[in-house]
Amino acid sequence: MIKLEKWFDNTTTEGLPLLLEAAGRCPPEDVGGAPGYADYLEAIGDATHPEHENMRLWGPEQFDPNVIDRKAIEAAVNALSALWKPRPRKLRSK
């Protein structure tokens, strides 16, 4: 889950995205949106599920939905900050 909030303080990061917390891991590619991800988690979490073996082989090896890659998320947020950083305005000539 990603939650963006507007943040104001007296630093140079005023108004820029900042990672405060992170929870959960993003779903694997092509899992089928939120419903597909829920089905995927159910299948890999239950060895007796009829799709357990197929989903385990299809998805990433050792997938744990609770383990996050904080460095990757921080890099993505920093990239947003670079895009959102105010640029100097050019004065129009009359």
Instruction: DSSP for 31-91, please give it.
Output: S-HHHHHHHHHHHHH-TTSTTHHHHHHHS-TT--TT---HHHHHHHHHHHHHHHSPPPPPP
Domain ranges of the chain: 1-23+70-86, 27-67
The pLDDT of residue 48 is 96
The pLDDT of residue 35 is 94
Please give the model's pTM, rounded to 2 decimal places. 0.59
- Encode pLDDT of 81-91 as tens digits: 777 666 667 77
